[in-house]
Homo-oligomer: A and B are copies of this chain.
């Protein structure tokens, strides 16, 4: 907390934040990548805080030009999806859920296969593909999904299916709430 002498400028290790134009894309691919990575983190933090402080649910989906898919959602929606996926029997006991499941299965399978197709095309274009990188940085948030499209076909290809289910089931949960459970 001592007074910093005027020669402190000599010790500066950085020029600090400078302005960058926000009305057009950064020209250098490398800069875009760095900025995207940094700001994505900031965005996750912001919306995570918002969801906690204001008690809202959310889903964010980001599609990068290279075909990478970033999905991020609030714990509530995540939780509902996990229950559905990990405990199918839970659904079997719920009539409305069964109906919803039945109506969605068919076209979700189709959508998933489309994702696989995109992946194959991307693989043809560029032979190398990067590995899954999990951000898992959020402080109070439990779940971040951050998965390259290319991994959807190899491991758990249900991410998009999960995501759509979240919307559906959140609505259903709210209806049950309003109906007095």
Contacts and interface: CB of A to CB of B under 8 A. Distances in A.
B117 A175 contact: yes
A24 interface: yes
A171 B111 CA distance: 9
Nearest to A24: B52
A62 interface: yes
B36 A178 contact: no
Interface residues of A, number: 59
A36 B57 CA distance: 12
Contacts of A111: 167-168, 171
Interface of A: 20, 22-26, 32, 35-36, 39-40, 42-43, 46-47, 49-50, 52-65, 67, 100, 103-104, 106-107, 110-111, 114-115, 117-118, 121-122, 125, 139-140, 160, 164, 167-168, 170-172, 174-175, 178-179
